[in-house]
C-alpha cells in the first residue's frame, strides 16, 4: 500500500487533493499606506511590472466615511477592480454609513467589516448592498462555514491553510462553500515561501472566483528556497515538482536559524 509520505515524494501536493485545474493563479496586491497618492503610485508600479492588476485597500483605522471615500477615489484612479479589508474594524452603523458611499463604485468586495461572531449583521449588510461580502475571520472551521451558510452571511470566503489548521481542513471549508454557492478566495496569513507554496498547491485545485492574495514572498528581503516562486503576468505559477514543488536552500535555512 502506498503511504501518504511516499505519495508526496512522487507527485505534487495538488494531485493528492484531486489535481490542479490551473497552472497559474491570479494574485492581487494589498495597498496599505493609508495615503491616496502613495497607494495609487504603488498600484501603478505593480501594473507596469505586470505583477498585479487587482488590489485590496486596507481601511479601518480612520473615520469610516473618510476611509470609504479614499477607497472609492483610489479604485477610480487605478482603474482596476478593488476590494477593501476591514479586519473586523467597523460596527454595523459604520458599515451602513460607508455602504452609501461604496455602492456603485469601483469597490466590489467588502471583506470582514464586522466582528467575526456577528453573522446576522454580515447577512444584513449583504442584503442591503451591491458589494459582495467576504468572510475571513468568521470562517476558520467547518462549523463556522455551517453557520455562515445558515445565515447567508457571505458570498465569498477567504481560505487559508494556517487559519483552518491544515490543508485538508481548508479544503473541507472550500467544498462546503462551493456546495452552498459561495465564491472562493485564496487568502494569506503572513506565510513564508513554504507556506505560500502549500497554499498555492491547494488553491490550484479550486475554482477561485476571487483569485488569491498569495504575495507574501514578494515582501521578503531574502528567500530560503533554491528557486523562488515565479510571479509574472499578474499571476503566480503553480510549482510542478513533487510535494510542495519547491526545494529549501539548506544553507539559507541554517543562516536564518534562531536557537
Give catalytic residue positions.
58, 213
Q: Which of 171, 166, 168, 246 is nearest to 208 (CA)?
A: 171
Say how far apart CA 204 and CA 244 lie, in whole Å. 12
Q: Could you tell me which residues come within 8 angstroms of residue 254 by beta carbon, excluding any fewer than 6 positions away? A: none
Pairing of strands 235-237, 231-232: antiparallel
Q: Could you tell me which residues come within 8 angstroms of residue 218 by beta carbon, excluding any fewer than 6 positions away? A: 51, 231
Say how far apart CA 81 and CA 61 lie, in whole Å. 22
Q: Return the bridge partners of 84, or none.
A: 57, 110
Amino acid at each position: 500500500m502506498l503511504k501518504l509520505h511516499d505519495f508526496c515524494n512522487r507527485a505534487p501536493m495538488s494531485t493528492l487533493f484531486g489535481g490542479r485545474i490551473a497552472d497559474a493563479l491570479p494574485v492581487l496586491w494589498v495597498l496599505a499606506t493609508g495615503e491616496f497618492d502613495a497607494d495609487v503610485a504603488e498600484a501603478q508600479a505593480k501594473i507596469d511590472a505586470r505583477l498585479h492588476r487587482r488590489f485590496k485597500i486596507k481601511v479601518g483605522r480612520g473615520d469610516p466615511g473618510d476611509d470609504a471615500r479614499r477607497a472609492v477615489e483610489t479604485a477610480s484612479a487605478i482603474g482596476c477592480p478593488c476590494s477593501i479589508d476591514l479586519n473586523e474594524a467597523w460596527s454595523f452603523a459604520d458599515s451602513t454609513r460607508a455602504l452609501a458611499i461604496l455602492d456603485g463604485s469601483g469597490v466590489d468586495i467588502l471583506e470582514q467589516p464586522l466582528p467575526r461572531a456577528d453573522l446576522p449583521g454580515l447577512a444584513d449588510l449583504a442584503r442591503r448592498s451591491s458589494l459582495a461580502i467576504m468572510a475571513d475571520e468568521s470562517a476558520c472551521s467547518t462549523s463556522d462555514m455551517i453557520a455562515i451558510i445558515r445565515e447567508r452571511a457571505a458570498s465569498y470566503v477567504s481560505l487559508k491553510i494556517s487559519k483552518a489548521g491544515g490543508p485538508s481542513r481548508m479544503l473541507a471549508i472550500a467544498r462546503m462553500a462551493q456546495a452552498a454557492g459561495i465564491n472562493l478566495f485564496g487568502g494569506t496569513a503572513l506565510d513564508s515561501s513554504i507556506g505560500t507554496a502549500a497554499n498555492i498547491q491547494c488553491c490550484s485545485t479550486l475554482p477561485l472566483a476571487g483569485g488569491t492574495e498569495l504575495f507574501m514572498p514578494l515582501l521578503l528581503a531574502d528567500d530560503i528556497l533554491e528557486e523562488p516562486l515565479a510571479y509574472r503576468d499578474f499571476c503566480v505559477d503553480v510549482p510542478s515538482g513533487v510535494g510542495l514543488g519547491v526545494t529549501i536552500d539548506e544553507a539559507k535555512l541554517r543562516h536564518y536559524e534562531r536557537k
